[in-house]
């Protein structure tokens, strides 16, 4: 079985956009407990490297590291483990909310920006990027940048994402 309910969200997104192909190289940011990693492998990815602040129980076929992705050197470590440019960068990173709207908001945007920067810097041409985002969050700057760097940028609310949550996913297709 899948390790997380989140797995169903990636399944829905991938059924719609066909991002994971046999042989794909995939980076997964904020990967614990490993549901998205399982889905990527199940759909034929040949190399999956995941990172999380939390320890992730091993998953055969994946390289999983425990680290803060925003810390220096972690992105490079992941690229070394992947052994080539990623075809797909996934980020489901979310911090524990502190309950102060503006603080939470800034942290969410910071994580999306860091994930987007990494995707833009590392993806092969034609590669794709998926990131968790929150409705009402002003991701304006990062959206404009993604629209320049990718052919198509969409917002998706999977049916398996709770209707009362503000969670949405940003899907950026076909890096230029």
**For binding to ligand SAM (CB under 6 A), which residues are involved?**
3-4, 6-7, 30-36, 51-54, 68-70, 92-95
For residue 5, the minimal CB distance to ligand SAM (Å) is 8
For residue 119, the minimal CB distance to ligand SAM (Å) is 15
Measure CA 117 to chain center.
12
Residue number with CB closer to ligand SAM (74 or 143): 74
State yes or no: 104 annotated in a binding site. no
CB 11, CB 72: distance < 8 Å: no
For 115, residues 6+ apart whose C-beta sits below 8 A from its C-beta are 29, 69, 89, 91, 93, 129, 131
Residue number with CB closer to ligand SAM (107 or 174): 107
Q: Tell me the two tokens of residue 167.
A: 């969670």
Residue number with CB closer to ligand SAM (80 or 151): 80
For residue 127, the minimal CB distance to ligand SAM (Å) is 19
Catalytic residue among 21, 132, 163, 175: 132
| Separation of alpha carbons 49 and 54, rounded Å | 15
The verdict on whether 132 is a catalytic residue reads yes
| Separation of alpha carbons 30 and 27, rounded Å | 10
CB 166, CB 153: distance < 8 Å: no
Residues within the annotated binding site for S-adenosyl-L-methionine? 34, 36, 52, 68, 92
Which active-site residues does the annotation give? 132
């Amino acid at each position: 079985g899948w390790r997380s309910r989140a797995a169903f969200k990636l399944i829905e997104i991938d059924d719609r956009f066909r991002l994971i192909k046999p042989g794909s190289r995939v980076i997964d940011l904020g990967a614990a407990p490993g549901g998205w990693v399982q889905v990527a492998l199940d759909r034929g990815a040949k190399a999956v490297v995941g990172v999380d602040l939390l320890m992730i129980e091993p998953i055969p076929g994946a390289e999983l590291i425990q680290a803060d992705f925003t810390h220096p050197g972690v992105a490079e470590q992941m690229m070394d483990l992947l052994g080539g440019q990623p075809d797909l960068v996934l980020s489901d990173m979310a911090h524990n909310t502190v309950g102060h709207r503006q603080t939470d908001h800034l942290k969410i945007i910071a994580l999306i920006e860091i994930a987007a920067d990494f995707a833009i810097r590392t993806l092969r041409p034609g590669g794709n990027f998926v990131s968790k985002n929150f409705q009402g969050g002003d991701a304006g700057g990062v959206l404009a940048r993604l629209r320049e760097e990718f052919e198509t940028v969409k917002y998706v609310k999977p049916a398996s994402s709770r209707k009362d949550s503000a969670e949405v996913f940003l899907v950026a297709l076909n890096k230029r």
